[in-house]
Amino acid sequence: MREGSHEGTRIVVGMATCGIAAGARPVLNAFVEEIAKRNLQNVTVVQTGCIGMCQFEPIVEVIAPGKEKVTYGMMSPEKAVRVVTDHIVNGNPVAEFTVAKLMK
């Protein structure tokens, strides 16, 4: 379901026109595949619309329970795999992929 369970980690992928044109589909599929491969429970991948930072698409937000939301920009399937390994599994957000870093 779109809202999913709020207990687990949510991976939110921007799937508006801007996101799709920038390559959100392979990014989303990379997340789904990596999560399935690692058999991660309580991780859901959901979509959202345009959040107004189209120049940084594909944008992915990772919302882990009890943690601050991390917004990644200019994502690729390769970066998605890295986010799953470092952030979702090991709890270390990948600072270099964040929108905050890209804006500097």
Partner 1 sequence: MRELSLNVLDIAQNSIVAGATLVELVVSEDTVNDRLTLVIADNGRGMTPEQLERVRDPFYTTRTTRKVGMGVPLFRMAAEMAGGELIIRSTVGEGTTVTATFGLKHIDRMPLGDMAGTVSTLIRLNPHLDFVYRHEVDGQSFELDTRILREVLDGVPLSEPDVMEWIDGNMAEGLLPLNRQA
Residue ranges in contact with partner 1 by CB under 8 A: 1-2, 15-18, 20-21, 25-26, 28-29, 32, 36, 45-47, 49-50
Q: How far apart are CA 14 and CA 59, in angstroms?
A: 6
> Which of helix, strand or coil describes residue 58?
coil
**Cβ distance to partner 1 smaller for residue 12 or 70:** 12
**Cβ distance to partner 1 smaller for residue 29 or 85:** 29
> Which of helix, strand or coil describes residue 72?
strand
Tracing tokens 């399935």 back to the chain, one arrives at: 36
**Cβ distance to partner 1 smaller for residue 1 or 104:** 1
Give phi and psi for 49, each to the nearest 5: -90, -150
CB of 59 to partner 1, least distance (A): 16
CB of 95 to partner 1, least distance (A): 28
CB neighbours of 16 closer than 8 A, spacing ≥ 6? 48, 49, 50
CB of 49 to partner 1, least distance (A): 6
